[in-house]
Amino acid sequence: MNHKAQLIHARTSVPTIQLFTRTLQTCWAVLFAITIVSEIYPLRPVPAKVFYAYLIFRGILFVLLGFLTPLAFWRFDSLTLGLLSSVVSAGFVEILQSFSGGHRASYLEFSAKAAVLFVGFALALNTRYNGIVRLGTFYRYLVNPHQKD
């Protein structure tokens, strides 16, 4: 634990999250791989409830992927880069889908994926700026090693 994290932890006794670490980057890479596999692997006909649950799961994956990007990588620090990374990632997925059996590329899906990725990215930039992750009663302080005291 670095000095900043120790100071925050000593004052609050709340665990901290160190930004831009190999652990966060590995989590991002694993999440990216899961997202790609969930998009490429065709879903066989299933009941409607299962299908819509699967769609919600995929949407959550895209939000989390967008959210984790500026927390794992130091250079992703502006909405412009967020928009660019969202469009590139969504385009990459759509291109891969066009080569996958049982799928076809769609401008509507591309737009939806890019928008959801961008929303996650924008939320994470706000979180990064505020220095705290909050979800209901769960919260963790963020420690930015590039930020001066």
Structural contact between residues 94 and 110, judged by C-beta atoms closer than 8 angstroms: yes
Instruction: Give the model's pLDDT for residue 117.
Output: 95
With tokens 């927390």, the residue in question is 71
Cα separation of 85 and 14, whole Å? 32
- DSSP 8-class letter at 19: T
With tokens 């220095």, the residue in question is 131
pLDDT at 120 over 70: yes
Q: Of the candidates 100, 102, 109, 124, which has an alpha carbon nearest to the alpha carbon of residue 31?
A: 124
Cα separation of 130 and 71, whole Å? 12
pLDDT at 12 over 70: no
Instruction: Give the model's pLDDT for residue 8.
Output: 54
Q: What share of the chain has pLDDT > 70, as a percent?
A: 90
Structural contact between residues 113 and 144, judged by C-beta atoms closer than 8 angstroms: no
pLDDT at 56 over 60: yes
Structural contact between residues 79 and 115, judged by C-beta atoms closer than 8 angstroms: no
Predicted model pTM: 0.85
pLDDT in tens, 61-114: 999 999 999 999 999 999 999 999 999 999 998 888 888 776 777 899 999 999
